[in-house]
Amino acid sequence: SQQGEEDPQALSIQEGENATMNCSYKTSINNLQWYRQNSGRGLVHLILIRSNEREKHSGRLRVTLDTSKKSSSLLITASRAADTASYFCATDAKIIQGAQKLVFGQGTRLTINP
Amino acid sequence: NAGVTQTPKFQVLKTGQSMTLQCAQDMNHEYMSWYRQDPGMGLRLIHYSVGAGITDQGEVPNGYNVSRSTTEDFPLRLLSAAPSQTSVYFCASSYSAFSLVATEAFFGQGTRLTVV
């Protein structure tokens, strides 16, 4: 079963506007990550936020984490055409012997219109 | 550094054929994994490995085998291809699965597999 679920499934905005995507998860986590996938390509890591952090910035990206609500949001400010992609959140899930694995949500398809 | 390299990029198989998807990383990462990506399903974990000689099943392991004889390589074998295995396959690696201080995962470019 998937740990993270993104909302909305698809988002279309005008260039220059801000884009907000949300992720909800079910069980406690140590970390949450966001990835971007351009069409036909592999996933690329964007940002990681730890469970004891509430907000993190990286360039035009802002990620928030609310562990009490088991949710995270990714904000992309001043969007550009090049931001058109699918965005995935990934949470850690415990496996054997203390190891962790990444579990991905279904993703949000973001389209930036010129 | 090349990062994570997957081959082939595209493959068409007939039902019942077998094949191996190759994955190699040159970052000395301990943790490697295979995902399949289907429309509306996101990425689902097939198999993973926390180090050379250690592998385990993910969410959807049926019909697939893996081995990890070296740190660098993590091939995925389809034993007898079925149309339900038509998908895009991604290999990923990260520094360690054991560290609570998580690190990012690096992905290959994917293999688009069609089973007819």
Pairwise CA distance, residues B4 & B24, whole Å: 6
Q: What is the pLDDT of residue B102?
A: 65
The CA distance from B2 to the nearest CA of chain A, in Å, is 14
Contact between A101 and A93 (Cβ < 8 Å) = yes
Helix (H, G, I), strand (E, B) or coil at A105: coil
Q: What is the pLDDT of residue A1?
A: 45
Tokens of A113: 């219109």
pLDDT tens-digit map of B4-48: 999 999 999 999 999 999 999 999 999 999 999 998 778 999 999
Which residues on B lie below 8 Å from A34 (Cβ)? Answer: none
- Contact assignment for B104 to A105 by CB distance below 8 Å: no
Helix, strand, coil abundance in chain B, percent, nearest 5: 5, 50, 45
Chain A contact for B71 (CB, 8 A cutoff) = no
For residue A33, give Cα distances in angstroms to A49, A103, B56, B60.
6, 10, 23, 22
pLDDT band at A103 (very low <50, low <70, confident <90, very high): confident
Q: What is the pLDDT of residue B1?
A: 63
In 3D space, the residue among B49, B47, B56, B89 whose CA is nearest the CA of residue B71 turns out to be: B49
In 3D space, the residue among B114, B100, B93 whose CA is nearest the CA of residue B5 turns out to be: B93
| A96 Cβ neighbours under 8 A, 6+ residues apart | B56
- Contact assignment for A96 to B97 by CB distance below 8 Å: no
Q: At residue B99, does pLDDT exceed 60?
A: no
The CA distance from B40 to the nearest CA of chain A, in Å, is 6
In A32-85, where does DSSP find H-type helix? none
Please tell me which of the candidates A35, A42, A88 has its beta carbon nearest to residue B109.
A42
pLDDT tens-digit map of A34-52: 999 999 899 999 999 999 9
pLDDT band at A98 (very low <50, low <70, confident <90, very high): low
Contact between A48 and A55 (Cβ < 8 Å) = no
Disruptive mutation site among A102, A108, A109 for chain B (greatest number of B CBs within 10 Å) = A102
Q: What is the pLDDT of residue A5?
A: 83
pLDDT tens-digit map of B75-87: 999 999 999 999 9
Q: What is the pLDDT of residue A30?
A: 84
